[in-house]
Amino acid sequence: MRRATFRLQPVLELRRTEERAAALAAADAARAAADADRRAASAEAAAIATVPTGPTDSLAFVAILATARLAAEDAAAARSLATASAEQAELVRAAWTSAAQRTKGLERLRERHVQAVRLAEQAAEERTVDDLVTGRSGRRTRTDGESAWTD
């Protein structure tokens, strides 16, 4: 008996491959967002460390303020990059979710196909068994010397 094949199997394999690629991209994007957040936190800590704490002369104070301003700008840029990285990671994660949903839909179709094939095979097996049982019963009554057509 020829086994029925799932005609969309190549598409399902392609979708699974796409889902795996999307999962890897999501992991990379999440890792990049976490790294950007760590760099932003480090830049913010560096900006806070440049604030003058003790008495200084006016030239040193201006220099410290200029350095603090540059550090604050660097921290703001790093935080902006971290926010953009987090948003990008969310978009990539959404693409992964979408790919997983498409794959899941095809997997459900495949499961239905496998179940339909299994049910068809069981029905064919039951018909075969029924035919064997009824065929034996008919042969047994005829071999006993009685006619199957007698009243």
Residue 129 within a domain = no
**Is 119 part of any domain?**
no
- Whether 122 is covered by a domain: the verdict is no
Which among 135, 134, 115 has a CA at the least distance from the CA of 123?
115
Condensed to tens digits (0 to 9), the pLDDT of residues 20-29 reads 999 999 999 9
The answer to whether position 18 is within a domain reads yes
Q: The tokens 């992991």 sit on which residue? A: 27
The type of residue at 32 is: A
Residue-wise pLDDT tens digits, 53-75: 777 788 888 888 888 899 999 99
How far, rounded to the nearest angstrom, does the alpha carbon of residue 96 sit from its chain's CA centroid? 6
Question: Is residue 111 domain-resident?
Answer: no
Q: What local confidence, expressed as pLDDT, does residue 64 receive?
A: 83
What's the mean per-residue pLDDT of the chain?
87
Report the predicted TM-score, pTM, of the whole model to 2 decimal places. 0.67
Residue 89: give the domain boundaries.
Answer: 9-103
Asked whether the beta carbons of 106 and 12 are under 8 A apart, the reply is yes
What token pair was written down for 131?
């035919």
3-state secondary structure (DSSP) of residue 118 = helix
- Identify the segments of the chain with pLDDT beneath 50: 151
Does 132 fall in a domain? no
Give me the number of domains the chain comprises.
1
In a domain, 145, yes or no: no
